[in-house]
């Protein structure tokens, strides 16, 4: 496949991920949205096909790929759970393999989620985001 086509596919998947980020930012605790800066986080693909995360709070452009110098995410204003989600988004952008829907507010034992989103907000995020090709569709009984 020509390089231009690969780059176009990556950018298309990045826009799908950005839709998921906007859904997450619009509900519950509003992760990936900074009220102070009035800005939503996003992901972009450069000319080389490398994926970058634009932080909502710091506004910094963060290289998401592993590096030989340790790969510190300077300017990333979220915790490890969301960093792992961003890495999964990066992998989806690069290879097109959809994510398991369990990455959206992973469940705890007492019917809550580790993001601390209220039940209604989490349900909306899961329903809207699961409709996008970023996430695998659950297997049906007929399969």
Q: Are 61 and 98 in contact (CB under 8 A)?
A: no
Cα–Cα distance, 115 to 29 (Å, whole number): 8
Segment 72-94 mean pLDDT: 94
Going by C-alpha positions, the residue among 27, 23, 70, 29 that lies closest to residue 42 is 23
Q: If pLDDT is split at 50, 70 and 90, which confidence band does 112 have?
A: confident
Model confidence at 139: pLDDT above 90: no
* Range 70-82 average pLDDT: 89
Torsion of the alpha carbons at 115, 99, 76 and 47, rounded to the nearest 10:
-160
Does 142 score more than 50 pLDDT? no
For residue 109, pLDDT beyond 80: no
* Residue 125, CA distances (Å) to 28, 135, 141 in order: 9, 12, 24
pLDDT at 143 (0 to 100): 46
Domain extents in the chain: 3-130
Residue 91 has pLDDT above 60, yes or no: yes
What confidence category does residue 141 fall into, taking pLDDT thresholds of 50, 70 and 90?
A: very low
- pLDDT, tens only, 18-75: 999 999 999 999 999 999 999 999 999 999 999 999 999 999 999 999 888 777 899 9
**pTM of the complete model beyond 0.75:** yes
């Amino acid at each position: 496949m020509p390089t231009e086509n690969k780059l176009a596919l990556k950018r298309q998947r990045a826009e799908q991920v950005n839709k998921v980020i906007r859904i997450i930012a619009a509900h519950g605790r509003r992760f990936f949205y900074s009220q102070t800066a009035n800005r939503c986080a996003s992901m972009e693909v450069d000319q080389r096909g490398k994926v970058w995360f634009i932080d909502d709070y710091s506004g910094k452009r963060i290289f998401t790929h592993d590096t030989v110098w340790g790969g510190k995410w300077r300017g990333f204003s979220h915790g490890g759970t969301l960093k792992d989600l961003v890495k999964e988004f990066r992998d989806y952008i690069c290879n097109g393999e959809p994510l398991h829907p369990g990455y959206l507010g992973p469940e705890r034992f007492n019917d809550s989620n580790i993001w601390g989103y209220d039940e209604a907000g989490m349900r909306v995020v899961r329903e809207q985001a699961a409709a996008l090709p970023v996430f695998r569709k659950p297997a049906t009984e007929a399969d």
